[in-house]
Chains A and B, each alone.
Chain A
Amino acid sequence: KTMPTYKLSYFPGRGLGEVSRQMLHLSGTPFEDNRITMDDWPKHKESTPFGQMPVLTVDGKQIPQSFAIARYLANQFGFAGKTPLESAWVDALADQYKDYTTEIRPFLMVAYGFGEGDKDKLRKEVAEPAINKLFTILEKKAKENGSNGHFVGSSLTWVDLLVSDHMGILETHVPNAFTAFPTVQDIRKKTTSLPKLKEWIDKRPVTPF
């Protein structure tokens, strides 16, 4: 039985593609890490299902939308929780994170250099409330789950990866963002020190986000 061929197409950054790259690497699955620059993107846009990236191509068939891709790979490789209820909770936390990204977006766009604005004002009025709202929920869930290094269940899920990588980006723009969330910090520490993940982090192209 032959393994499927996987290609993940995304911009050169981490962003919406990183969690899927990480799962492919963690599972030991060879994949084409197809990074398309902003300059080249217009040439490729029409060949994607929704005119957007990331896109996962599995044996030539495309799947769009970052969380659909992540959940598909998580289910293939065992990173989606061990029961339907656990999977539902992984999904719920991921969607709560997605809502948060919509809330914090005005700050991050300026912080990343994609727009003009008062970064300090936005940090105070937009970023900090959004961070507090999400991370209070994450801290509570992490504790309820037994402070075992995971948000859900007792093994790695894609929401552990999603939050951990984001924290690495966010703290460069919001210093001390996570001091009130020690259990979440612990999850990030445990997740990012997994040898196979550390291997990926050490070899991946260095990008600010």
Chain B
Amino acid sequence: FSAISQSTMPAYKLYYFSIRGLGEVPRQILALADVKFENVGITKEQWPEFKSKTPFGQMPVLEVDGKQIPQSFAIARYVASQHGLAGKTPFEAAWVDALADQYKDFNNDFKKFFYLVLGFGEGDLEAAKLEHGIPARDKFFPLVVKQLKSNGTGFLVGDSVTWVDVLYAEGSSRVAHEVPGFLDDYPEVLEHAKKIHAIPQIKKWIEARPV
């Protein structure tokens, strides 16, 4: 009889719609961390009932041994911090957070164009591209290139992958895919996405993912 207690891995469940959206980065972080998780896809029909069971009436929600955590960045940071994917020092962690929030600010503008590209909402696509898409892109991506160059490791922060690399790679690769040529002025950003998506656990996830 062993007196040494086995430490058990928590049981992780990630709840989101069966699209990439805000669920994809938490899923990729879990995959990158080699964490077994149940990827629960909630359908449009199931959502109204499930909504009232979530903390904020929104998804994604991570459930860890039955305890819920809402908000995609809080989820990503929680998983990343447990697995060495959130920066090696408090200063690095702050820069990971800063870059993540800078991306969020960019996306708040950019989505006024990008949601139309994806087929959500009504509007003049060309006008949105001129008014929101291009200005948001050209305000944000030079900062990204500057950060990649000054950090010099191929990663955004420090010398190993962090959750903000996963965030940026998903964002930039999605944009480049949906709007061909849109990021051609930022080859360093496209290279970064390629590098992150070549990491074995992420590569494997991308190849196997349902959407």
B120 in the interface, Cβ–Cβ < 8 Å? no
- Asked if A69 and B143 make an inter-chain contact with CB atoms under 8 angstroms apart, the answer reads no
- Asked if A92 and B69 make an inter-chain contact with CB atoms under 8 angstroms apart, the answer reads yes
- Asked if B95 and A85 make an inter-chain contact with CB atoms under 8 angstroms apart, the answer reads no
30 A-B pairs with CB atoms under 8 Å apart are A50-B102, A50-B143, A61-B91, A63-B94, A64-B98, A65-B98, A65-B102, A67-B101, A68-B95, A68-B97, A68-B100, A69-B94, A69-B98, A72-B91, A72-B93, A84-B82, A85-B67, A85-B69, A87-B81, A88-B77, A89-B74, A91-B73, A91-B74, A91-B77, A92-B71, A92-B74, A96-B71, A137-B55, A137-B56, A137-B57
**B72 to A, closest residue via Cβ:** A95
**B150 to A, closest residue via Cβ:** A49
A71 in the interface, Cβ–Cβ < 8 Å? yes
Main secondary structure of the interface of A (DSSP, over half): helix
B78 in the interface, Cβ–Cβ < 8 Å? yes
54-109 of chain A: CB within 8 A of chain B: 58, 61, 63-69, 71-72, 75-76, 84-85, 87-89, 91-92, 95-96, 98, 102
**B75 to A, closest residue via Cβ:** A88
B171 in the interface, Cβ–Cβ < 8 Å? no
- Asked if A72 and B78 make an inter-chain contact with CB atoms under 8 angstroms apart, the answer reads no
A87 to chain B minimum Cβ distance, whole angstroms, is 7
A166 in the interface, Cβ–Cβ < 8 Å? no
A141 in the interface, Cβ–Cβ < 8 Å? yes
79-133 of chain B: CB within 8 A of chain A: 81-82, 90-91, 93-95, 97-98, 100-102, 104, 108
Query: Within 8 Å CB of A66, what residues of B?
Result: 101
B64 in the interface, Cβ–Cβ < 8 Å? yes
B158 in the interface, Cβ–Cβ < 8 Å? no
- Asked if B82 and A88 make an inter-chain contact with CB atoms under 8 angstroms apart, the answer reads no
B166 to chain A minimum Cβ distance, whole angstroms, is 17
Main secondary structure of the interface of B (DSSP, over half): helix
B73 to chain A minimum Cβ distance, whole angstroms, is 6
Interface residues, chain A, with chain B CB atoms under 8 Å away: 49-51, 58, 61, 63-69, 71-72, 75-76, 84-85, 87-89, 91-92, 95-96, 98, 102, 137, 141
Query: Within 8 Å CB of B91, what residues of A?
Result: 58, 61, 63, 72
- Asked if B95 and A87 make an inter-chain contact with CB atoms under 8 angstroms apart, the answer reads no
Query: Within 8 Å CB of A71, what residues of B?
Result: 94, 97
Give A65 to B67 CA distance when docked, in angstroms.
29
- Asked if A85 and B64 make an inter-chain contact with CB atoms under 8 angstroms apart, the answer reads yes
Give A61 to B20 CA distance when docked, in angstroms.
36
- Asked if A72 and B74 make an inter-chain contact with CB atoms under 8 angstroms apart, the answer reads no
- Asked if B56 and A96 make an inter-chain contact with CB atoms under 8 angstroms apart, the answer reads yes
- Asked if B78 and A84 make an inter-chain contact with CB atoms under 8 angstroms apart, the answer reads yes
Give A63 to B97 CA distance when docked, in angstroms.
10
- Asked if B95 and A95 make an inter-chain contact with CB atoms under 8 angstroms apart, the answer reads no
- Asked if A87 and B78 make an inter-chain contact with CB atoms under 8 angstroms apart, the answer reads yes
Query: Within 8 Å CB of A63, what residues of B?
Result: 91, 94-95, 98
**B70 to A, closest residue via Cβ:** A92
